[in-house]
Every structure is written in structure tokens, then in C-alpha cells.
Amino acid sequence: MISAVMPTYGRADIAFERGEGAWLWSTDGRRYLDFGSGVAVTALGHCHPRLVKALQDQAATLWHTSNLYRVPGQERVAGRLVAESFADTAFFCNSGAEANECAIKMARKHHDDAGSPQRGQIICATGAFHGRTLATLAAGGQEKHLKGFDPVTPGFVHVPFGNLNALRAAIGPETAAIMVEPVQGEGGLVPASADYLRGLRAAADEFGLLLIFDEVQTGMGRTGRLFAHQHADLAPDIMTLAKGLGGGFPVGACLATEKAAACLTAGTHGSTFGGNPLAMAVAGTVLDVMAEPGFMDRVAVMGARLRSGLDALAARHPAVIEEVRGLGLMLGIKARIPNTELSARLLAAGLLTVGAGDNVVRLLPPLIIGDAEIEAALSILDRTLTEVTP
């Protein structure tokens, strides 16, 4: 008999009842070190006192009014995001997929308004992940996610990630935009080189395309800069955010330049829940905490520390680790044994991780992680890697 909860996930048989910082407690009383952060979401750890207070205060004041009225929290958060980025404006929604839907609609309408309605096609990269709605599934283009859901939403083509020649060859009279993740997350922690990102910018400029960065996973400090593309010192026309933006409260955003966003006039796009006062109270506080002096530098330092610990483990366990890769606190171990087996062993040993494509185990600790927790995780990894060495 089907379970009351629709069985769309392969879940581990474990439930958590409490969290604090980088730690979670399961209903059977065990303590776990959380290096998954709910898939890069709880950027400030569990129950960060400032987020708890922001949410509680807002909950006692006003939850929801809809977008029929001004929402002062949106004005505040959008102002902050605009001040910290290339963007001039932000649209709020509830998830990463929705943020990407906004980006895709914007790219198409931008060209339609400019008198080129045939320019509706988005060039994406192989190995991409952009969400689970019908359009974002087509944008991801992964067979394992699309299978059984034909017809595939048209308007997306794919070229190998990292290959500028293939990208340029795919540009045609119907191309509207290029959409990529600065570091592919679900695809296996594959960072784009700065040269590749600059090449995308140049191609977009040359052919009048919009450049969309999906920073749903890489954004909000995950890579040691507020937005991952800032490492490469260039700007897209559109950027999507979600995961870390609400620190665990569902909220997404699509940021854009005035030129790109001018097409989305009143009535062209919307969301009932998007950017409600609760979401904005939390997102605003996430931004406040991340803007504190030294916060982002510390993420970079902790990322480098975890990375060097992992590199040392890779040298000690070459039979199990093929490679360590990623950026900041978005790191992956490409395993020589099934990543699902390694993840399950780490879970049993008290360390939560997340699987990714290309047989990678993802390490996505909260950005507030400290030395002691990194040491604890490395020591669980060391023991587990010894155990699984064939």
C-alpha cells in the first residue's frame, strides 16, 4: 500500500527532532554533524538565534498580505541584494525552480519586446540542474530526471559544460540566453573556470544574449564570496537564488539588471506567496549576518581548511578517493566506491553528507562551521575511509 506521504524520495530511515549550529539530534537520541545543511540551505546552521528571533518577532506581527500591496520587507531585502550585486532589481518567489522559471520567462520576453519573438531558446550545459518543474527539468536536460515525463518542454539545448567552442557553435537566430551554474552542484561539484565564465559573457555580448547564472546553490556565501561569479570578476544579466537565502525558510529570488528586467511589467509574472513578510524577515536577517565584518572571509578560510584536510585524506586513501573538488564550503569527494555506500557509512558514523552526480559525496557544512567541527568531520571521514578501503 502506498504511504500517506507520496513516496517520491529515497529517504534514509532517520528523523531529526532538534538542531543547533552544525549539529542535529535524531528521534532516537543520536547526535549528528550536519555537513549537508539540508542540501546547502541552512547556511547559518540550525536555530541561529538571530534567525529564530527574526522569525518569532515577525510571526507575532504579520505573516502574509499578498503582492496586491507593498511589502516593506521586500523593499528592504531587494535593496540589500541590489547593493551587494550587479543587479538593479529582484523578484521574490519560494524556491530555486521558481526563480529559474522567472529567469527563463524574462529572457524570452526581453527578446519578444525587442521585436524578436523567435528568440526563445536557452542554451544550457550538460550535467546541469535547474529544478523539477517542467521547464527547469528541460533546462537541466538530464535523462534520469526527464524519463517518463514526455513531452519535454521545448526551447532548451545543451552543450558540454566548460566548452566555449561548442557553446558558440550552438548560438543561432533563436537563441535568447545562456544559463549555467558557476559551480555545478547536483551534477557533481564541477567549478567553471573564470575563463569559461568570461567566455560566456563575451559570447552573450557579441550575440545580444542574456547571461543567466543559476546561483541557487552557489549563492549566499557558499563558495566564500556572496555570489560565486564574483570570484571571476564579471556579472551576468540575471541571477537566481534560493537555498541559503532563507537559511531554511523557503524563499527564492530572481535578480536582474534593469535592461533585462524591464520587460516584466505589472501583470506579466507573479507569485501568491513570494516574498511574504515571514520570508523577508528571515532573508533580511540572513543578509545582515552575512554582511558582518569578516563573515565571508571566514567562510573562505574554513573552506580552505576543509579542503586541505580533504586533500590530505585523498592522499591517505587513494583507493577510495579519486579526487576532491569544489569551491569554498561547497566541496565534493569523487569516490572510487559507490557514493551512496560512502554516504551511508558516514551517516552511520554520525556525519551527514549529500550525494551528487558523477559519484560524488558532497560536503556542504553550514557557513558558521568552526575548526573543531571540521576536525571532527575529518576524523569521521578518516575512520570511515579506512573501513571501506577494499
Ligand X SMILES: *Cc1c(COP(=O)(O)O)cnc(C)c1O
**DSSP letter at 333?**
E
What is the C-alpha to C-alpha distance for residues 23 and 351, in angstroms, rounded to an integer?
A: 10
We find the least distance from the C-beta atom of residue 98 to ligand X, in angstroms, to be 7
Chain positions 243 to 262 lying near ligand X, rule: CB under 6 A, are 243
| Alpha carbons 170 and 187: distance in angstroms, whole number | 21
Q: Find the catalytic residue in 243, 249, 334, 358.
A: 243
Residue sitting closest to ligand X (CB): 96
Cell 540550525, residue located: 46
Spatial CA neighbour of 36 closest among 389, 308, 369:
369
Nearer to ligand X, 183 or 280 (CB): 183
Q: In a 3-state reduction of DSSP, which class is residue 337?
A: coil
Neighbours of 28 (CB within 10 A): 8
Please answer whether residues 253 and 245 qualify as being in contact, where contact means their C-beta atoms are separated by less than 8 angstroms. Answer: yes
Residue of 91, 109, 214, 249 with catalytic role: 214
Is residue 382 among the annotated active site residues?
A: no
230, three cell numbers: 564574483
Our finding on whether 358 is near ligand X (CB under 6 A) is no
Nearer to ligand X, 96 or 355 (CB): 96
Cα–Cα–Cα angle for 15, 17, 19, rounded to 5 degrees:
115
Rule CB under 6 A: choose which of 36, 73, 141, 185 binds ligand X: 185
Judged by CB under 6 A, does residue 327 bind ligand X?
no
Q: Which residues are CB-contacts of 368 (< 8 A; sequence separation ≥ 6)? A: 21, 22, 44, 45, 48
Minimum distance between the CB of residue 272 and ligand X, rounded to whole angstroms? Answer: 16
Q: Shortest gap between Cβ of 138 and ligand X (angstroms)? A: 13
Contact set for ligand X, span 72-131 (CB under 6 A): 95-97, 100, 129-131
236 binds ligand X (CB under 6 A): no
183 binds ligand X per the rule CB under 6 A: no
Closest CA to 32 of 342, 345, 341, 352: 352
- Known catalytic residue at 109: no
Q: Does 284 interact with ligand X (rule: CB under 6 A)?
A: no
Out of 34, 101, 214, 373, the only residue in the binding site for ligand X (CB under 6 A) is 214
Least Å distance, CB 384 to ligand X, is 26
- Binding-site size for ligand X (CB under 6 A) equals 15
The bridge status of strand 175-180 relative to strand 121-125 is parallel
Whether residue 151 has a cis bond before it, omega within 30° of 0:
yes
Per the annotation, the verdict on 105 as an active-site residue is no
Site string for ligand X, 23-62 (x = CB under 6 A): ----------------------------------------
Is residue 363 involved in binding ligand X (CB under 6 A)? no
In the complex, minimum distance from the CB of residue 128 to ligand X, in angstroms, rounded to a whole number: 8
Collapsing DSSP to helix, strand or coil, 88 comes out as coil
Q: Which cell is 190 given? A: 564541477
CA distance 67 to 271: 8
The residues carrying an active-site annotation are: 129, 214, 243
Q: Which residues bind ligand X (CB under 6 A)?
A: 95-97, 100, 129-131, 181, 185-186, 214, 216-217, 242-243
